[in-house]
Structure 1
Amino acid sequence: MLKTNNVNQQAAEVGSKQPPPSEIVLIADDNPVSQLLLSRYFLNLGIHTDLARDGARAVSLAKMGGYSLIVMDLYMPKMDGLTATRTIRAREQKLGGPAVPILIVSVSDDSELGAECLQAGATAYLQKPISFAALQAAITRWGLLSPVAGDSHVQTTSAP
């Protein structure tokens, strides 16, 4: 069983890759396989994760603050990713705080969906299955990961 956001356990597992405790990613996805893959990906980078199985829980956790990035599935129970993103952005505007990057992910191949996600307040949109090179490029762009010298998979262009 994968445990997330346990600083001592993760520090032992990732050794010197340990990020500052403030770097925590919220993964909002109702699919346990997606949660596991994303959690392990971030853990391998030394980044801690919290999990939400629906959009309403993601909004609740986001209200508590402390996240460096939110990875949000588009289609979830109780509240979809677009509504959750709009709700998070409205609260950020009301409080006047910084906007946490929100990366919306979806299996949909609708060409207009990316624009709709950005209009809802998402920072970027990626189509599932997620290319970990694209995910790495996105989190590098947001300052959660330093670019790897000579890594041809790290892209610096904006996500669609």
Structure 2
Amino acid sequence: MDDATAPDAGRPAHVLVAEDHPVNRVVAQAMLASLGVSCTLAEDGGEAVECAAVVELDLVLMDLHMPGLDGLEATRQLRANAEAAGRPRVPVVAMTGGDEAVDGPDCRAAGMDGFLAKPFTLEALRACLLQHGVRCASAG
């Protein structure tokens, strides 16, 4: 990654968490905070697409199964909107209790860049963030 596309080193990393379950949102927010990462929370795919259009993000954690606009369609819209606006590609990681072998092909076809199985550990979240170039503090 060159300096022109690298996240601003002067600002904390920022993640969008799109998750319809309130407890899961709170847990993800707390885990991210413990890793020194700020976040914006979205309750559904439509809200995630709206947030991604106005908030500078380093990564999106996208639940697959949400009412209304699901994670796959939200990712397709997020990708189309970013391309139309000339914004850089932000990694989108699927969050689901499902199996990557089953859900992975649909996730990749929708434009997702990774997969994080729920429930996930702090270390798994940290590894996911680092894999996608998001700066964070050590777990634990």
Same-fold call, TM cutoff 0.5: yes
Residues 135-144 or 120-129, more deviating: 135-144
Q: What is the distance in 2 between the residues matched to 1:54 and 1:114?
A: 20
Residues 139-148 or 20-29, more deviating: 139-148
Matched, 1:82 2:94: no
Corresponding residue number in structure 1 for 2:57: 67
* Structure 1 unpaired stretches of 5+: 1-18, 152-160
Corresponding residue number in structure 1 for 2:17: 27
CA RMSD of aligned residues (A): 2.0
% identity of equivalent residues: 34
Give the TM-score of the pair, scaled to structure 2: 0.84
SS in 1 for 2:17: strand
SS in 1 for 2:115: strand
SS in 2 for 1:71: strand
Runs of 4+ that moved beyond 3 A: 19-22
Higher RCO, Cα 8 Å, sep 6+: 2
The alpha-carbon distance between structure 1 residues 146 and 126, as it changes in their structure 2 partners (threshold 3 A), is closer
The higher radius of gyration belongs to 1
Q: What is the distance in 1 between the residues matched to 2:12 and 2:99?
A: 34
Cα deviation, residue 124, structure 1: 0.4
SS in 2 for 1:125: strand
SS in 1 for 2:101: coil
Give the TM-score of the pair, scaled to structure 1: 0.74
Q: What is the distance in 2 between the residues matched to 1:45 and 1:147?
A: 5
SS in 1 for 2:57: coil
Matches within 5 A, 1:118-137: 118-137=108-127
What is the aligned residue count? 131
Q: Is the 8 A contact 1:28 1:52 kept in 2?
A: yes
SS in 2 for 1:34: helix
